[in-house]
């Protein structure tokens, strides 16, 4: 997919347009720093212009808002991403809503949320659920008429994932159930899933006996668990108990290395889409 994107970036550059992405990092959260580095590396490899703007932890909300306004007005920047989480003194929703929706490549602005729900292709789909949908499409998983169960209802993954699976077209037309912390007998729902997408933020929450034989399992979770046998003292696991679930599933994504690379790929796709739409006026 990145190779395909490279061809489109080459065409845009020949037309005098270099897609540009600005990533804003407030504070020194270690995980956020890793994500931001990976995004910058991916931009370099793809040939995108990018800026990473690092601000101290005590940055005021007013200063962040002023920076976002400058980026909104910068013609070299087609996409703006504010890395979450933000420090407590900054209202995340206010910051995300200050980004020009035409540059909101994370897809969190209410205008883009609405466009995704109604199937407007000019809206930016959040990168993680967009990546999951492309993963299904590119590996030949037929979603049409399938029972899809999404575990988790966050605005970042669960809700937009359900909206994408419901849409008419490739990677859509599924019958969708969304489970969450108030769902009764959640295992009864997960065992019915032809496609099970888990994004609940609980380490190894879904066990093998919760998976329907032959199901496709997409694990969106990334959790640190203590592991004294590892040099760093921890290991990364998903929201699914991988070793158990893989004995039952027909296909399953690993953690790390499954959904994560797709998320970064779709961020690049959204930035190129933003540049293309900007060029059209």
Catalytic residue among 104, 106, 194, 239: 106
Residue 83 falls in the annotated catalytic set: yes
Q: Which CATH class is domain 2-103?
A: alpha beta
Q: 11, 28, 33, 39: which one is catalytic?
A: 39
Q: CA 278, CA 178: separation in Å to the nearest integer?
A: 35
Task: For residue range 61-86, list pLDDT tens digits in order.
Answer: 999 999 999 999 999 999 999 999 99
- Is 54 a residue of the active site? no
Taking only the tens place, the pLDDT of each residue in 11-38 is: 999 999 999 999 999 998 888 888 899 9
Domain parsing of the chain, residue ranges? 2-103, 127-260
Q: Is 39 among the residues known to form the active site?
A: yes
- The catalytically annotated residue of 83, 134, 167, 273 is 83
CATH no. for 127-260: 3.40.50.720
| Nearest residue to 131 via CA among 233, 260, 281 | 260
pLDDT tops 90 at residue 231: no
Q: Do domains 2-103 and 127-260 have the same CATH topology?
A: yes
% of the chain at pLDDT higher than 70: 100
Residues in Cβ contact with 178 at an 8 Å cutoff, skipping those fewer than 6 apart: 149, 150, 152, 153, 158, 159, 162
């Amino acid at each position: 997919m990145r190779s395909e994107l490279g061809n489109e970036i080459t065409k845009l550059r020949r037309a005098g347009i270099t897609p540009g992405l600005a990533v804003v990092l407030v504070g020194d959260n270690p995980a956020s720093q890793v994500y931001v580095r990976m995004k910058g590396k991916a931009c370099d490899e793809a040939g995108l212009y990018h800026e990473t703007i690092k601000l101290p932890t005590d940055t005021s909300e007013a200063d962040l808002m002023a920076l976002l306004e400058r980026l909104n007005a910068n013609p070299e920047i087609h996409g703006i991403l504010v890395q979450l989480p933000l420090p407590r003194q900054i209202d995340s929703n206010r910051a995300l809503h200050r980004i020009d929706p035409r540059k909101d490549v994370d897809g969190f602005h209410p205008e883009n949320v609405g466009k995704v729900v109604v199937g407007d292709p000019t809206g930016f789909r959040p990168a993680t659920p967009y990546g999951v949908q492309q993963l299904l499409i590119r590996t030949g998983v037929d979603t049409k008429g399938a029972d899809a169960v999404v575990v988790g209802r966050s605005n970042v993954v669960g809700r937009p994932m359900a909206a994408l699976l419901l849409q008419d077209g490739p990677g859509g037309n599924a019958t969708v159930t969304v489970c969450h912390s108030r769902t009764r007998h959640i295992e009864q729902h997960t065992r019915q899933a032809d496609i099970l997408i888990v994004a609940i933020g609980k380490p190894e929450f879904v066990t093998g006996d919760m998976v329907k034989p032959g199901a496709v399992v997409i694990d969106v979770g990334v959790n640190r668990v203590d592991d004294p046998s590892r040099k760093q003292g921890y290991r990364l696991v998903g929201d699914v108990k991988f070793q158990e679930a893989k004995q039952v599933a027909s296909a399953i994504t690993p953690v790390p290395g499954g959904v994560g690379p797709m998320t970064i790929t779709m961020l690049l796709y959204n930035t190129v889409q933003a540049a293309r739409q900007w060029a059209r006026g």
